[in-house]
Structure 1
């Protein structure tokens, strides 16, 4: 699980949440920060890799649906799942077109710091669901 996000999160309550949930993800977890503009996404070194672009026009999945997708990718031998969080102006069309999944956390636009914390929590929740942990309950 590799979150690649535009913008610096610094020392903040959101950064603490990302670290807390990241430590709980048992599949491996990494965060790469890029400047708001410029910088390059690290080259893909593990294959196969899946790319998830966080985008307000993306699919809105339940936690269980998200877990099923990640579980299927794992079972198919995916070595890395990359989750791209854009800057304030989002992602360009070319990056959205390359994505294996466009994912939204609802119709609202979220600040990158909160989106990063929410994504880290959902990654932990998804891996917990797959592992059969009783933490998650859908109502």
Structure 2
């Protein structure tokens, strides 16, 4: 199974980028042991449109082009489920064991996620009701995916 993190906006150089890269590298290295064939962080440009609905539409089209047919589509959404690390690991296990080829975790732009992607959502994941900077959401997501892989592989990184 492949894991794709698809996000609106480009991460700039700095501490957040370095931390995201560190967790992405760990995730790639650890993932093979539990049957992950690849992990990718894919970015699309923020739409320059002035109208929020137009921005969401353009960003949704760009994101939709990154998501493979048949992939489990998970939206990062403050209204989504606030799952424990063990629950995230359980969902990854179920998707992998169920023969899913890919899981796409989608982080929308500043205006949210467009209807094109909303319709494709199989699940919604939340990191709580607080508003988080998109750069930090990527870091938190990559860390949680790495943590889930360590749970599935029995690695001591996750100590409950």
Check if 1:106 corresponds to 2:106: no
Q: What residue ranges of structure 2 are gaps of 5+ in the alignment?
A: 48-57
Residue 10 of structure 1 deviates from its aligned partner by 1.9
Which secondary structure state, in structure 1, belongs to the residue aligned with residue 72 of structure 2?
strand
Q: CA-atom RMSD, angstroms?
A: 1.5
Check if 1:70 corresponds to 2:92: yes
Residue 14 of structure 1 deviates from its aligned partner by 1.1
Q: Say which is worse superposed, 19-28 or 49-58, in terms of deviation.
A: 19-28
Which secondary structure state, in structure 1, belongs to the residue aligned with residue 90 of structure 2?
helix
Residue 17 of structure 1 deviates from its aligned partner by 1.2
Which residue is 1:49 aligned to? 71
Q: What residue ranges of structure 1 are gaps of 5+ in the alignment?
A: none
Determine which structure has more spread, i.e. the larger CA radius of gyration: 2
CA contact (8 A) 2:8 2:43 kept: yes
CA contact (8 A) 1:48 1:77 kept: no
CA distance in 2, matches of 1:44, 1:83: 9
- TM (norm. structure 1) is 0.91
Which residue is 1:117 aligned to? 139
Q: Say which is worse superposed, 97-106 or 35-44, in terms of deviation.
A: 35-44
Q: How many residues align?
A: 137
Residue 8 of structure 1 deviates from its aligned partner by 1.1
- TM (norm. structure 2) is 0.80
Which residue is 2:16 aligned to? 14
CA distance in 2, matches of 1:98, 1:43: 13
1:58-92 Cα distance to aligned partner (Å, 9 max, x none): 00000000100001101011111101001111112
Check if 1:2 corresponds to 2:4: yes
CA distance in 2, matches of 1:8, 1:90: 16
Which residue is 2:50 aligned to? none
